[in-house]
C-alpha cells in the first residue's frame, strides 16, 4: 500500500567500526608531486589516507559507497569523513542509515545562508583540517559549493584532489546555477577525474585534461542503488497508481516552482486514479510554496524528506517521476522508470530516452502533455526487465579505490568486479 510505503522506515544501522578522528601535526609545506609519479618511498609505505568531504545529501549518497568500500579494505586505506554542514538534517539522516558517522563537522549551516558564506567558511575550515590531517587524497563529489570548497582547500594545502562524478556539463554557465561553474572550477583543481560516462570523459578532454588523469568508472549512485535494492523487502503491489515528484533546484525557485505546482494539479485533474507523493526539501523557498499551493489537495501527499531506502522503495513502485534532481535522473535511467526532467538543460543527456525520459522544462502544458502520454501507456514500465548499464555496473567505488592504489604502486592491477548489474527488476516490483 502507498500509505505503508511512505511511512517512515526504521532502518537498521550496520555495525561498522568507528575510529576517532585523529588530527596530525601540520608540516607547513607541500608534500605531493605530480599525480602520476611515485613521489618517493613515502607513497609505498602504510595505508593511503583519504579525507572524504560531504556537504549535501546527494554527495553523501554518492560518496558513501566509496567510504564503505575503503573501510572494507582497511588494511590498505584509512578514510576519514568530514561534513561541512551545508545541509545538516538531510545528510545526518542519510549517514545514519548507512552506519557512517562523520569524524569532523564544520557546522557551517545557518538560516538563509548564501553561497559566498558557505564557500568561505567551508574553505577556511577545511584548509585548517587538511593542514593538520595531511591526507594523501581529498575526495570531493559532484558540483556543490562544498565540492568546490573541498577541492580549493585541498589545492591550497598541496594535497591530491580526486573528483568523483567529474566531467558533467550543460554548456550553459547559468544552468544549473551554481553547479555548472562549481564543477568546471573543480576540474581545474583536481588531480584525478573519475568520470561517470564516456561523454563526461570527452567533455574533460575538450577542456584540456590529460587522458591519463581521467578514469571512466560509472556513477557511484549505481553502487548505492544496487546495494539498497539488494536489501529492501518486497511489498505487495499497490492497486493505486502514484507519481513521485521531487523539486528543489535553485533555478526553479520562484515562478518556475509555481508552474510545476500548476502542472501537477492539472495532471491529477486529468487522471483521477493517480496520486502524487512529494518529499519536500527543507529549504523554505521550496517548502512554503509547496505547502501553500499543494497542501490542501486530497491526492497529493507532502512528506518530510525520505530516507534513502524508503525513497528507493517509493521510486521503484511509482508509475511516473517528475524531477529536477540530477541523481534521480540517474536512478530512473537505471530502473527504466518513466521520467519528466523539469529543467531547461541537463548535464546527464545519457539519462534521456524518447520512450521513457523527456526534458520538459517547467511549462505546465508540456508537463501535462508528456506526462499524460506516459500515464496512458503504463506498460512502458514492464518493457525493461534488467537494470540499465548507462551509468555503470555498480563497481565505481572499487575502480576509484584501485586507481588510488595504482598511483601508490603502479604494478597493482584493477580488481575485477562480477556483475552487480545482473540484478533484475522482476523480484523488486
Which residue blocks in 179-325 are alpha helix, DSSP H?
A: 179-189, 198-206, 220-229, 255-270, 284-294, 308-317
Contacts of 136 (CB under 8 A, 6+ apart): 32, 43, 48, 49, 50, 159, 160, 404, 408
**103, 133, 136, 179: which is the annotated catalytic residue?**
179
Q: How far apart are CA 332 and CA 357, in angstroms?
A: 8
Is 250 noted as a catalytic residue in this protein?
yes
How far is it, in rounded angstroms, from Cα 265 to Cα 337?
21
- Does residue 143 carry a catalytic annotation? yes
* Catalytic member of 97, 133, 143, 402: 143
Helix segments in 295-395, DSSP class H: 308-317, 326-335, 364-376
User: 59, 78, 97, 165: which one is catalytic?
Assistant: 165
Q: Are 404 and 50 in contact (CB under 8 A)?
A: yes
Phi/psi for 117 (5° steps) reads: -65, -50
Looking only at the bridges linking them, the beta strands covering 274-279 and 357-359 are unpaired
**Is 163 known to be catalytic?**
no
- Is 248 designated active site? yes
343 catalytic, yes or no?
Answer: no
Residue pair 402/414 in contact (Cβ under 8 Å)? The answer is yes
Tell me the β-bridge partners of 293. Answer: none
Catalytic residue among 87, 160, 163, 248: 248
Residues designated as active site: 143, 165, 179, 248, 250, 281
Amino acid at each position: 500500500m502507498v500509505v505503508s510505503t511512505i511511512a517512515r522506515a526504521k532502518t537498521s544501522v550496520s555495525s561498522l567500526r568507528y575510529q576517532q578522528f585523529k588530527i596530525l601535526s601540520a608540516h607547513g609545506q607541500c608534500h605531493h608531486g605530480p599525480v602520476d609519479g611515485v613521489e618517493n618511498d613515502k607513497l609505498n609505505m602504510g595505508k593511503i589516507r583519504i579525507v572524504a568531504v560531504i556537504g549535501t545529501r546527494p554527495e553523501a549518497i554518492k560518496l558513501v559507497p566509496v567510504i564503505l568500500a575503503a573501510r572494507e579494505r582497511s588494511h590498505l586505506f584509512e578514510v576519514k569523513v568530514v561534513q561541512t554542514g551545508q545541509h545538516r538534517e538531510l545528510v545526518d539522516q542519510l549517514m545514519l542509515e548507512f552506519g557512517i558517522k562523520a569524524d569532523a563537522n564544520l557546522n557551517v549551516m545557518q538560516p538563509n545562508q548564501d553561497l559566498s558564506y558557505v564557500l568561505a567558511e567551508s574553505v577556511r575550515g577545511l584548509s585548517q583540517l587538511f593542514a593538520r590531517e595531511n591526507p594523501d587524497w581529498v575526495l570531493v563529489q559532484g558540483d556543490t559549493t562544498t565540492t568546490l570548497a573541498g577541492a580549493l582547500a585541498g589545492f591550497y594545502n598541496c594535497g591530491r584532489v580526486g573528483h568523483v562524478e567529474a566531467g558533467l556539463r550543460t554548456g550553459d554557465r547559468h544552468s544549473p546555477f551554481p553547479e555548472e561553474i562549481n564543477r568546471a572550477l573543480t576540474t581545474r583543481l583536481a588531480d584525478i577525474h573519475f568520470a561517470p560516462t564516456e561523454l563526461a570523459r570527452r567533455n574533460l578532454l575538450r577542456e584540456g585534461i590529460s587522458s591519463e588523469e581521467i578514469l571512466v568508472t560509472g556513477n557511484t549512485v549505481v553502487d548505492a542503488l544496487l546495494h539498497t535494492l539488494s536489501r529492501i523487502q518486497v511489498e505487495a503491489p499497490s492497486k493505486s497508481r502514484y507519481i513521485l515528484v521531487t523539486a528543489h533546484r535553485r533555478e526553479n525557485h520562484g515562478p518556475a516552482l509555481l508552474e510545476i505546482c500548476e502542472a501537477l494539479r492539472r495532471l491529477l485533474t486529468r487522471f483521477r486514479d493517480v496520486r502524487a507523493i512529494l518529499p519536500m526539501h527543507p529549504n523554505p523557498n521550496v517548502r512554503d510554496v509547496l505547502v501553500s499551493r499543494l497542501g490542501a489537495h486530497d491526492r497529493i501527499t507532502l512528506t518530510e524528506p525520505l530516507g534513502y531506502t524508503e525513497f528507493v522503495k517509493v521510486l521503484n513502485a511509482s508509475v511516473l517521476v517528475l524531477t529536477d534532481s540530477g541523481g534521480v535522473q540517474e536512478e530512473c535511467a537505471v530502473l527504466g522508470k518513466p521520467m519528466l526532467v523539469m529543467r531547461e538543460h541537463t548535464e546527464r543527456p545519457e539519462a534521456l530516452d524518447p520512450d521513457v525520459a523527456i526534458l520538459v522544462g517547467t511549462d505546465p502544458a508540456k508537463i501535462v502533455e508528456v506526462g499524460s502520454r506516459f500515464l496512458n501507456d503504463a506498460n512502458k514500465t514492464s518493457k525493461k526487465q534488467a537494470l540499465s548499464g548507462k551509468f555503470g555496473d555498480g563497481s565505481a567505488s572499487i575502480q576509484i579505490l584501485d586507481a588510488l592504489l595504482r598511483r601508490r604502486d603502479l604494478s597493482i592491477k584493477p580488481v575485477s568486479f562480477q556483475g552487480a548489474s545482473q540484478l533484475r527488476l522482476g523480484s523488486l516490483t
